[in-house]
């Protein structure tokens, strides 16, 4: 399954909304109505951090400004009010089928 | 919180071998699927391999299948990645990760750097 993110990079003003799109080449929706899609945040010198799983479930401790949505083949990660500490590269990842695949990443910067 | 610490990275010549290890603590290692993920310089994240709790069921990314072997030692809470026939394309930071089900990668370690160069 090919994962395609857009845009490759975006610059957003502090406090503004950032939206990242992720499209899969095949559906990630299972027969139990779950989407096997996760979102990671990756900062330099740190391990990737899981933010969202099952497309829209926020991991415990992740700020509420991060939200995931979408189903099937189209997904979105939204940062509702960008903070300085959110500067990072964000990746979507599918775990619906083997091989597990990541999107190419979206770099988020401050405008 | 789960702790994963990778080791074994270093400089190796093309065609050479390297064995990475991941020591885990603060969780019941034997109940988790374990994975390896890598990031080549200037590139994005790439999944490498995943191994079931009992060490029997394993999956690999196409470019490493037949060259890399993922294994685990549940008695010693450790995960390994034996890498053979290394090429410059394998140079990357390698992260180990854990999750409760197939494909889950919830926690990742700090990573270990593998450099492939003559």
pLDDT digits over A9-36, tens only?
999 999 999 999 999 999 999 999 999 9
Q: Tell me what the pLDDT averaged over chain B comes to.
A: 96
Is A2 in CB contact (< 8 Å) with chain B? no
Q: Do B44 and A89 touch (CB under 8 A)?
A: yes
How many beta-carbon contacts under 8 Å exist across A and B? 55
Cα angle B89-B93-B95, degrees, rounded to a multiple of 5:
120
Confidence band, pLDDT 50/70/90 cuts, at residue B26: confident
Residue of B60, B61, B109 lying closest to A47 (CB–CB) = B109
Length of chain B counted residue by residue = 118
In the block, residue with structure tokens 């779950």: A34
B94-101: average pLDDT: 95
pLDDT the model gives residue B1: 77
Is A1 in CB contact (< 8 Å) with chain B? no
A37-48: average pLDDT: 96
pLDDT at B27 over 90: no
Distances (CA, A) of B100 to B34, B53, B84: 9, 9, 28
pLDDT the model gives residue B48: 98
Q: Tell me what the pLDDT averaged over chain A comes to.
A: 97
In the block, residue with structure tokens 């910067």: A109
pLDDT at B65 over 80: yes
**Contact residues of B toward A, CB < 8 A:** 35, 37, 39, 44-47, 50, 59-62, 95, 102-111
Share of chain B above pLDDT 70, in %: 100
The conformation of residue A33, written as its DSSP 8-state character, comes to S
Tokens matching residue A91: 């990746």
B106–chain A nearest CA distance, Å: 6
pLDDT at B63 over 80: yes
Q: Cα(A55)–Cα(A93) distance, rounded to whole angstroms?
A: 10
Residue of B45, B61, B105 lying closest to A99 (CB–CB) = B61
Minimal-distance CA residue of chain B relative to A99: B61
In 3D, which of B96, B29, B54, B102 has the Cα closest to residue A97?
A: B102
Which of B22, B39, B93 is the best mutation test for A, with the most CBs of A within 10 A?
A: B39
Backbone φ and ψ of A84, nearest 5°: -60, -35
Per-residue burial over B69-84, b = 16 or more CB atoms within 10 Å of its CB, e = otherwise:
bbebeeeebbbbbebe
Is A15 in CB contact (< 8 Å) with chain B? no
3-class SS of residue A46: coil
Mean pLDDT check: name the lowest of A12-21, A79-88, B25-34, B71-80: B25-34
Share of chain A above pLDDT 70, in %: 100
pLDDT digits (tens, 9 = 90+) for A73-90: 999 999 999 999 999 999
B72-90: average pLDDT: 97
């Amino acid at each position: 399954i090919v994962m395609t993110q857009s845009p490759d990079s975006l610059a957003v003003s502090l406090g503004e909304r950032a939206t990242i799109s992720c499209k899969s080449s095949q559906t990630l929706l299972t027969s139990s109505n779950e989407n096997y899609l996760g979102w990671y945040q990756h900062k330099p010198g740190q391990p990737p951090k899981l933010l969202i799983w099952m497309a829209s479930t926020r991991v415990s401790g992740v700020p509420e400004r991060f939200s995931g949505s979408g189903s099937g083949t189209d997904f979105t990660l939204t940062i509702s009010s960008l903070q300085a500490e959110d500067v990072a590269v964000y990746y979507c990842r599918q775990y619906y089928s083997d091989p597990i695949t990541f999107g190419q990443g979206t770099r988020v910067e401050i405008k | 919180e789960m702790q994963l610490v990778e080791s074994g990275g270093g400089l190796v010549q093309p065609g050479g071998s390297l064995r990475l290890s991941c020591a885990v603590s603060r969780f019941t290692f034997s109940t988790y699927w374990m994975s390896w993920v890598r990031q080549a310089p200037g590139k994005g994240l790439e999944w490498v391999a995943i191994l079931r709790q009992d060490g029997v069921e394993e999956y690999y990314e196409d470019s490493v299948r037949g060259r890399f072997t993922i294994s685990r030692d549940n008695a010693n809470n450790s995960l390994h990645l034996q890498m053979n026939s290394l090429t410059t394309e394998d140079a990357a930071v390698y992260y180990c990760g854990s999750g409760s089900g197939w494909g889950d990668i919830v926690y990742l370690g700090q990573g270990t750097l593998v450099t492939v160069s003559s």
